[in-house]
């Protein structure tokens, strides 16, 4: 046991003095012009280089109209910071909406058509719920999709805060033949989406994301967020909800069902480099539009054998869950895979299983060239670790 006298003797040695000297903080100026002394909103470290990339290469203006991908390889935990949340803009600029002039209209097959200002909405009961959001196009497209950001970067997870849609519908009084809602945004194209009322009732009219107001690309000042629904259904810049007896075929309409179970390893993943053989912790993400993740299995030998990974708390319904597995790499070339099972009984399929079910070749299925109404791109995804420690997309090899 180290005695008090022994500890004091250590602090008097050269090593002890060096440690203490290195721990002395650098004095900062209180000058308001010093960016470290005063920052109204806060800024990240200059050493933190994590950023979104565009799925359009150089044909994108990051300030306006591009689709951007979340850097999944850089994230910790399950929450995506709003500045790194993926964005599918489809060429639309975020409208500049003054929240003091904003109005949400509720009409159609209701007993009491209503309108709300943003301030009035914030007076109503609210909830906060952690939910993931995924774009329908969240899958690898070409051999150039080398990193997990490129292959799976159109998914993010946030704590959304707002008024439950059920509260609004109760206030309006939905008529017996009201079975659908049509949500319309204030963007240039007036994006509209038909949503079954039965599934929309779990939704939130969100004005907050991760404790702050929505950012412009995420729908400021209001959007609808429906658990498990594709990103296209979560209409941004929401200003009108019409209750109807059937869906509308609007110019931007597309019908989809909740996304199935999915997982991907984020470390080690494409573009990363292992620093020699030895101990590593494999980490990844899993999610499902049908419920909570029940188990995740990981293979470190290309799918020949599988081990059950550890699910890290919290494990929430219709939200991203983290999984991890201890791994001793012997330095040989291998392929890493993960497969997830949700609590509704859905399991992640192999490309071969999908091809056998819907037809087409395995390669066509991998490239999303053969599609079926009951199939979404949620196949088991492989990363190849080479003997030099480099990691590569192994989907098409």
- What pLDDT digit, counting tens, does each position of 125-139 carry? 999 999 999 998 899
- Is residue 53 a contact partner of residue 151, using CB atoms and an 8 Å limit? no
Q: What is the mean pLDDT of residues 72-79?
A: 96
Is residue 32 over pLDDT 90? Answer: no
Is residue 9 over pLDDT 80? Answer: no
What domains sit in the chain, N to C, each tagged with a CATH number? 47-256 (3.90.420.10), 262-393 (2.60.40.650)
Across the chain, what does the average pLDDT equal?
A: 87
Residue 346: the pLDDT is: 95
Work out the pLDDT band at 20, boundaries 50, 70, 90.
very low
How far apart (Å, rounded) are the C-alpha atoms in residues 351 and 369? 12
Residue 89: the pLDDT is: 72
* pLDDT tens profile 240-292: 999 999 998 877 777 777 889 999 999 999 999 999 999 999 999 999 999 99
Residue 257: the pLDDT is: 77
Q: What is the mean pLDDT of residues 66-82?
A: 94
Instruction: Choose among 345, 287, 295: nearest CA to 317.
Output: 287
Higher pLDDT, 396 or 106: 106
Is residue 200 over pLDDT 90? Answer: yes
Is residue 316 over pLDDT 50? Answer: yes
Is residue 60 over pLDDT 60? Answer: no
Is residue 17 over pLDDT 60? Answer: no
Percent of the chain with pLDDT over 70: 86
Residue 359: the pLDDT is: 83
Residue 251: the pLDDT is: 73
Residue 21: the pLDDT is: 37
Is residue 91 over pLDDT 90? Answer: no
Is residue 119 over pLDDT 50? Answer: yes
Stretch among 182-196, 265-279, 338-352 having the lowest mean pLDDT: 182-196
* pLDDT tens profile 364-394: 888 888 776 666 789 999 999 999 999 999 9
Is residue 8 over pLDDT 90? Answer: no
Instruction: Choose among 210, 203, 216: nearest CA to 79.
Output: 210
Q: What is the mean pLDDT of residues 162-188?
A: 95
């Amino acid at each position: 046991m180290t005695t008090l006298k022994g500890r004091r003797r250590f602090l008097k040695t050269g090593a002890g003095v060096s440690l203490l000297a290195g721990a002395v903080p650098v004095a900062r100026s209180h000058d308001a012009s010093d960016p470290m002394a005063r920052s109204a909103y806060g800024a990240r470290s200059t050493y933190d280089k994590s950023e979104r990339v565009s799925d359009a290469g150089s044909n994108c203006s990051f300030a306006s109209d591009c689709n951007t991908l979340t850097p999944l390889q850089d994230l910790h935990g399950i929450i995506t910071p709003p500045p790194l949340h993926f964005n599918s803009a489809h060429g639309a600029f975020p409208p500049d909406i003054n929240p003091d002039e904003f109005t949400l209209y509720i009409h159609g097959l209701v007993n009491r058509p209503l309108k709300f200002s943003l301030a009035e909405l914030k007076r109503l009961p609210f909830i906060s719920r952690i939910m993931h959001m995924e774009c329908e196009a969240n899958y690898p497209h070409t051999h150039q999709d080398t990193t997990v950001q490129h292959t799976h970067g159109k998914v993010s997870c946030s704590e959304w805060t707002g008024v439950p849609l059920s509260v609004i519908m109760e206030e309006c009084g939905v008529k017996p033949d009201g079975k659908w809602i049509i949500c319309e945004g204030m963007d240039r194209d007036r994006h509209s989406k038909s949503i079954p009322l039965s599934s929309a009732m779990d939704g939130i009219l969100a004005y907050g994301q991760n404790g702050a107001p929505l950012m412009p690309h995420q729908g400021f000042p209001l959007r609808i967020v429906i658990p498990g629904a594709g990103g296209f259904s979560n209409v941004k810049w929401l200003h009108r909800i019409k209750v109807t007896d059937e869906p509308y075929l609007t110019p931007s309409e597309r019908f989809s069902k909740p996304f199935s179970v999915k997982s991907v390893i984020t470390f080690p993943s494409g573009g990363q480099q292992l620093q020699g053989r030895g101990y590593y912790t494999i980490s990844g993400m899993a999610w499902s539009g049908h419920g909570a993740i029940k188990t995740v299995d990981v293979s470190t030998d290309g799918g020949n054998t599988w081990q059950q990974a550890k699910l890290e708390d919290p494990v929430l319904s219709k939200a991203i869950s983290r999984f991890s597995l201890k791994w001793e790499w012997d330095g040989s070339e291998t392929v890493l895979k993960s497969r997830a099972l949700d609590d509704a009984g859905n399991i992640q399929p192999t490309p071969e299983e999908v091809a056998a079910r819907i037809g087409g070749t395995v390669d066509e299925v991998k490239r999303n060239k053969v599609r079926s109404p009951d199939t979404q791109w949620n196949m088991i995804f492989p990363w190849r670790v080479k003997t030099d420690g480099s990691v590569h997309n192994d989907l098409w090899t």
